[in-house]
Amino acid sequence: MPTPITAQQLITLQHELPIIDVRSPGEFELGHIPGAHNMPLFNNLERTQVGTRYKNSGRDFAIELGLEYVGPKMAGFVKFAKKLAINKKLILHCWRGGMRSASLAWLLETAGYEVFLLQGGYKEYRRFNRESFSKATQLLVLGGYTGSGKTEILIELQKMGEQVIDLEGIAHHKGSAFGSIGQEQQPTNEQFENNLAHEWQKLDMNRRIWIEDESVTMGSNGVPDTLFAVMRTAKVLRIDIPREVRAKRLVKEYACFEPSLLETSILRIQSKLGGIVTKQALEALHLGDFEQVALITLIYYDKAYLNGLSKRDPKTIESLFIDEDNPAKAAILLKDYLLEGMGFSSRVPLR
């Protein structure tokens, strides 16, 4: 008999044993446990046909059709497992811990393998992850206007031993209308949540965790509602950098890309900027005045950020004025604040 394991046990065992996902390729591509290997019991078409047979003719007839598909593949399944198993042990799962994983567990155990079977399957793994996001009692949100270099500050904090979750890095998107420029293709939203959970599971929940202040969506990816709820009530350490300094950073980040990409992004927020302002931004872009483009668009983004900040409890927000673009120094000051337990004054220049 296969050994049943919980999602929590899988997270521990995944560092020691391979995970085999027996769902169809389409299910796997939509979202899977990071590091898992796909050994589909049915291909996409076969899965559809078995499901249709089950719906129209019942369980027994569906099983018969499934056996017709699976029979010729059995030797291949065993060979696949042989390549991956460690000491003839492996983890197996399907969607809900049902017939697909149970049947392959039987086959592999018959072939001499020790199988750990995820109870509740991939669905339970997803449920467990969403619940785990709500358990961050020491979450710290790094806030600040667009162009403040928050991601770089988080990187510096991580170098100093702090725990950090880089939402934008995991989503391959910087959050704004310009956020996809220069980024890899975004994962599906389901895979984004899985990748986020994979990083989350590495953290010590008894220590503070830094995360960037984000809206609920970053391109096509959305922050899980359980995590977003914690973010909205967590303490915010907000850095306030002059717009002119931030504009120069944005020029460094985006002026190297094709102007057509920037134009598309400007037009994406045309309704927010207004016709006249959009025209001014596009004229500046065509003249190669990237700093002016940044200054114009930041007017909108600054208002949007302040609007989001106004929805938080003011008592949870600490603000720090910084007069230069220096992520390393900003990270030191932020950590010093936490060590000393002192609040920020409203205008403390960083030098």
- Count Cβ atoms within 10 A of the Cβ of residue 302 and give its class: 0-12 exposed, 13-18 middle, 19 or more buried: middle
How confident is the model at residue 342, as a pLDDT? 47
How confident is the model at residue 161, as a pLDDT? 94
- Count Cβ atoms within 10 A of the Cβ of residue 296 and give its class: 0-12 exposed, 13-18 middle, 19 or more buried: buried
Q: How far apart (Å, rounded) are the C-alpha atoms in residues 259 and 283?
A: 12
How confident is the model at residue 201, as a pLDDT? 95
Evaluate whether 3-129 and 135-340 have a shared fold.
no
* CATH number, span 3-129: 3.40.250.10
Catalytic site residue from 90, 94, 104, 293:
94
Catalytic residue list contains 94:
yes
Q: What are the residues facing 91 on neighbouring strands?
A: 19, 116
Tokens of 308: 């989001």
Amino acid type, 208: R
In CATH, the architecture of 135-340 is: 3-Layer(aba) Sandwich (3.40)
Q: How far apart (Å, rounded) are the C-alpha atoms in residues 338 and 228?
A: 23
User: 10-residue block means of pLDDT along the chain (351 residues)?
Assistant: 96 96 97 98 90 80 78 93 97 93 94 97 97 93 96 96 96 93 96 98 95 94 96 94 97 96 96 94 97 96 92 91 93 82 43 35
- Count Cβ atoms within 10 A of the Cβ of residue 79 and give its class: 0-12 exposed, 13-18 middle, 19 or more buried: exposed
Tokens of 208: 């503070």
Question: Domain coordinates of the chain in residue numbers?
Answer: 3-129, 135-340
pTM reported for the whole predicted model: 0.91
How confident is the model at residue 55, as a pLDDT? 81
Which ranges of 111-207 would DSSP assign to H, the alpha helix?
121-133, 150-159, 167-171, 189-200
